[in-house]
Structure 1
Amino acid sequence: MRAAVLTLALTATAAALAAPAGAAPAAGCDPGQLCLWSRPDYRGARLVHELADTDVNSCVPLPAGTDAKSFVNRTRKLVTTYQSAECATEGDFVTFPSGTWVPESRHTIRAFQIVDQ
């Protein structure tokens, strides 16, 4: 089941794999980081998570009252974004490969998981 979801996510996000033209606001997302913005198009408040201080394969909820609408995955690992703050699969969730730029997530992101490949 997880492999099917991953395959679907990879196919659905193929257009988002390269940094879009005009993505300058997201340029501050360095290699090894997962950067999330509170508004679409890499705008609003930004949260940065680095591999050095994020548990791989663990659910990482965003701070209470915080959610994200766009993000960049530069972790060199898969990242799963969740609509649920508990990484529950009853809500919407999608897995993205490294190098993915998502100017507008298909769901409000309340948690994520960096997945060891």
Structure 2
Amino acid sequence: MRTTVLCTSALAALCLLAPASAAAPAAPAAQATVASPASPASPATPAAAARSAPPQPRLGRCGPGELCLWAKPGFTGTRHVHELSGIDIESCVPLPAAAGAQALANRTGRPVTAYQSAECAETGEFETYPGGGTWVPQTPYRVRAFKVWEN
């Protein structure tokens, strides 16, 4: 089960708490959406929640107008960057055959659909992410292609 948490730039640091020893990431200027696993039970106090919650991954580096895809979860591994200016709108963009993505950030300002299929076939899994600043530390499947849509 996945939950979506909407964070404004002022609250992004709180939504993406890192361990106390890690430096806080810079919050994106736009509204950010972070997908994370749901918690079956809530601890009684905020302090207990902070101790029992797994550490959240730090946001990966992805600039405005970019779609960034990482090979491994948690914004790690090889990063592929696609700029909005170099993408054909509503066209299927396959990732290199040996590549695939398990984390993504959509900062294009447009909705992006990520596909399990390298041909953008809807017979496999697919999901559309808003373009105002969506950060997905782990996709529910290996992304092999994407489409950018008009607003």
TM-score, length of structure 1 as denominator length: 0.82
In structure 1, the gaps of 5 or more residues are 1-11
1:46 counterpart = 2:36: no
Q: Which has the higher helix share?
A: 1
Partners of 1:100 and 1:21 lie apart in 2 by 17
Alignment of 1:59 with 2:92, yes or no, is yes
| 1:8-47 equivalence runs, <5 A | 14-15=4-5, 17-18=6-7, 20-22=16-18, 24=58, 26=60, 28-47=61-80
TM-superposed deviation, 1:30: 0.3
Matched with 1:115 is 149
For the pair shown, the structure with the greater C-alpha radius of gyration is 2
- % identity of equivalent residues: 48
Displacement, 1:64? 1.4
The answer for the alignment partner of 1:5 in structure 2 is none
* Structure 1 position 21, deviation (Å): 3.7
**Structure 1 segment 88-107 matched on structure 2, within 5 A:** 88-98=121-131, 99-107=133-141
Is the contact made by 1:25 and 1:43 (CA closer than 8 Å) also made in structure 2? no
Residue deviations 1:25-51, cap 9 Å, x none?
51x210000000000000000000000
How many residues get paired? 104
Amino acid at match of 1:49: H
Q: CA deviation at 1:104?
A: 0.3
**TM-score normalised over the length of structure 2:** 0.64
1:24 Cα deviation from its structure 2 partner:
4.4
The separation in 2 between residues aligned to 1:86 and 1:13, in whole angstroms, is 28
* Cα distance change, pair 108–73 in 1 and its aligned pair in 2 (3 A): same
Aligned-residue RMSD, C-alpha: 1.6
Misfit runs of 4+, over 3 Å: 21-25
Q: What's the CA shift for 1:85? A: 0.1
The CA deviation string for residues 84-114 of structure 1, in whole angstroms up to 9 with x for no partner, is: 0000000000001011100000011000001
